[in-house]
Chains A and B, each alone.
Chain A
């Protein structure tokens, strides 16, 4: 019953770094382009990697196994398809819903790629996981963040601004509140929609439980038992930690970075590696990170040598600190409100006010001038600025191309004759991409003969001006261009409004769905959710031939609490009980409020003996938890009925019935106790805790 992120499918695509776009345009200039280099560019970019994989898997009608790496997707799609997917890249500046100002795109891209590169090396060394798959999984493990920034830019930007530097787990809680889903779940949901294996999705989701070691001292969760998954998860987690150091400031006096570096030693155990071996492995990642980083425009590398830094720390006597630094240096600083697992249904659904149409919002039209003649740039620039346009200039086509991708001007005015790349080539290059298709291009030419004019239009120019020209003519042409642009932007604006509604609707749907399945008083999943989930777990258990147990808990003599202390106190008691039960369950347990004073615990993949122990733990926790409120000052007690799915049972109703009957016996035999369904023996001892009755 995973939460879904349908907004992406409904509203478009994720942005790529502009340097990656530039490389793609440069690379595909000629017909005999370097295909391998193009693939490397796709590999470095989460958005394009995802897109080729998605397309390969969507078109898979021959029953072939889904692809899970860019390499496999490339083989299946062929050169031409890859080229056109690559040219379909979109950019942040091009996002119709705008830019998430406070989201650090560069940092996101750098960390995603650095993690992927590190994990690739780790996989080669540890040999448990296919390096190429590990690379893809690591690159995309955080794609949910990029999706939030692209689909809900204003909301996500606000969230980033108000919670700068918040660790991922705390961030996830905030996201859940704002969007009804967090970035771990969004990543998994996107991976699923791209046809990537469950294994990858689970890595994205399990990262959400990085610190969740509480409450499984009794029985380890065995749903992570799959070795491959665990290893992949270990690698991605380790890769991420190393990547953070790698892309960090490399300033030994920076406490945060130093903490990150020193805590690398904790990876030794997980990776089964000596500290020195780990350091030299990290050092081995550096050259390949530099090579890859360039693709996404990372030109300054702080990285020194891991080994040297470690030696220096040791000289400073920090080696001993290594072992005392907690694994997670990032202290969560978000108040941990009463957390109801995945269920924080807040029905505050203020829709973000829609922008007024972008055409009239006072933003000047951006014009890029490309001319190798600086005098011309100065002159034309002067005329255009005087008309109120925002003017960008470049003296070479290559520079012009980079600026065009970074700032996506609406109008491009380029000289024809320039050394190296001509204006015609610049125009044709831009026109190959989706981004460049929208620009209005005016070519400036010295000769106005028919042949040249035809050539200009063939290359994709929208208009041309013959030199020397009267500035008034140029302004008139730019005004004509602006009318075209406004027309197009008006269409885009209404489209933008629609997309925005779809995106907001996604949030609302998710919140409403969560609300419909959540009990408002305790914030636990409600009866409807409980029954749906139980049916699901029932099917899974039957298919996998795994055990399934349930515990029904009922607060003893709850009616008298309400009668004596009033409903307000009754509500407090229910909330406290819910909270206590939650705190003493395992991560894999599903706790729901069935109604009144009755709760249900679904123990996935758990047999009745283990379940009974779990029930006993809950019973004793409640018994010990004193509740104080408005004169009420004592603990309450629980009666619990435990039952396991049995072969003769036909449906979940039979299972519920069995545990209900056990609960009945628990009540009848004196309350504050656990009873197990169908157990023949009756044990009566003197102590109240060890009494068992059969149902």
Chain B
């Protein structure tokens, strides 16, 4: 038996075509998280999602600040943290964007930092909406 998360998560939301049109939250990946919850720890899924929402907001603002001047290092560290945290809640697309952001911030040759940041920001908005369960506009 799997207790349902009290935060309704939307799996029908998809990223815009510019971002590949993939689902924002991968249902399979999210169910791994759900499968963890048990009677001893029924709040696990909610807490993980809340922790992500809290922490990711902070990281995203760090990324924006990084772009405005505090440097690539700030972006790299924030992207690194976001990469695994978002994968844990099933936001696989966003997670892979964070991965490219991390390498771009490390000075990978063909990484255009600014453009990756702006698409990360757009994708992040989708992720928040999906996790908050808003029935979004399907494409």
Contacts and interface: CB of A to CB of B under 8 A. Distances in A.
B44 A417 contact: no
B41 A375 contact: no
- Nearest first, the 10 A-B pairs at minimum CB distance are A375-B51, A375-B85, A374-B51, A467-B84, A382-B44, A373-B81, A375-B52, A382-B41, A468-B87, A468-B84
Interface string B31-71: 00000101011001001100110010000000000000000
A419 B58 CA distance: 15
A372 B85 CA distance: 11
Contacts of B129: none
A379 B49 CA distance: 11
A375 B36 CA distance: 14
Nearest to B87: A468
Contacts of B132: none
Interface string B83-125: 1110110000000000000000000000000000000000000
26 contacts: A372-B81, A373-B85, A374-B51, A375-B48, A375-B52, A375-B55, A376-B84, A376-B88, A378-B47, A378-B48, A378-B51, A379-B36, A379-B48, A382-B36, A382-B44, A383-B36, A385-B40, A386-B40, A386-B41, A417-B80, A419-B77, A446-B80, A446-B84, A468-B87, A468-B88, A471-B36
A344 B81 CA distance: 67
Interface in A459-477: 467-468, 471
Nearest to A383: B36
Interface centre among B48, B80, B81 (most CB of A within 10 A): B81
Contacts of B40: 385-386
A516 B36 CA distance: 68
B88 A375 contact: yes
Given A374-B51, A375-B52, A375-B55, A385 B41 contact: yes
Interface range, A side: 10 to 19
Contacts of A373: 55, 81, 84-85
Interface in A471-493: 471
Given A373-B85, A375-B51, A378-B47, 5 more contacts: A374-B51, A386-B38, A419-B77, A468-B88, A471-B36
Q: Is the interface of A mostly helix, strand, loop or mixed?
A: helix
B40 to A, nearest CB: 7
Nearest to B44: A382
Given A383-B36, A417-B80, A446-B80, A374 B55 contact: yes
Nearest to A446: B80
Contacts of B47: 378
Interface string A433-474: 000000000000010000000000000000000011001000
A48 to B, nearest CB: 38
Contacts of A383: 36
A528 B80 CA distance: 79
Nearest to B54: A374
A472 to B, nearest CB: 11
A375 B81 CA distance: 10
A374 B56 CA distance: 11
A383 B41 CA distance: 10
B85 A378 contact: no
B85 A417 contact: no
Contacts of A378: 44, 47-48, 51
Interface string A493-536: 00000000000000000000000000000000000000000000
A82 B52 CA distance: 46
Nearest to B95: A468
Contacts of B51: 374-375, 378
Interface centre among A372, A375, A382 (most CB of B within 10 A): A375
B71 to A, nearest CB: 14
B36 to A, nearest CB: 6
A170 B136 CA distance: 78
Nearest to B52: A375
A467 B40 CA distance: 26
A383 B48 CA distance: 13
Interface string A544-561: 000000000000000000
A383 B37 CA distance: 10
Interface in A381-427: 382-383, 385-386, 417, 419
B123 to A, nearest CB: 18
Contacts of B85: 373, 375-376
A468 B81 CA distance: 12
A467 B87 CA distance: 11
A419 B84 CA distance: 16
A386 to B, nearest CB: 7
Interface in A325-378: 372-376, 378
Contacts of A376: 84-85, 88
A379 B33 CA distance: 9
Contacts of B55: 373-375
A419 B81 CA distance: 11
Contacts of A417: 77, 80
A43 to B, nearest CB: 40
B30 to A, nearest CB: 13
Contacts of A386: 38, 40-41
B59 to A, nearest CB: 10
A373 B41 CA distance: 20
B75 to A, nearest CB: 14
A385 B83 CA distance: 25
B49 to A, nearest CB: 9
A83 to B, nearest CB: 33
A446 B83 CA distance: 10
Nearest to B50: A375
Interface in A176-191: none
A275 B70 CA distance: 61
A487 B115 CA distance: 54
Nearest to B102: A446
A467 B88 CA distance: 11
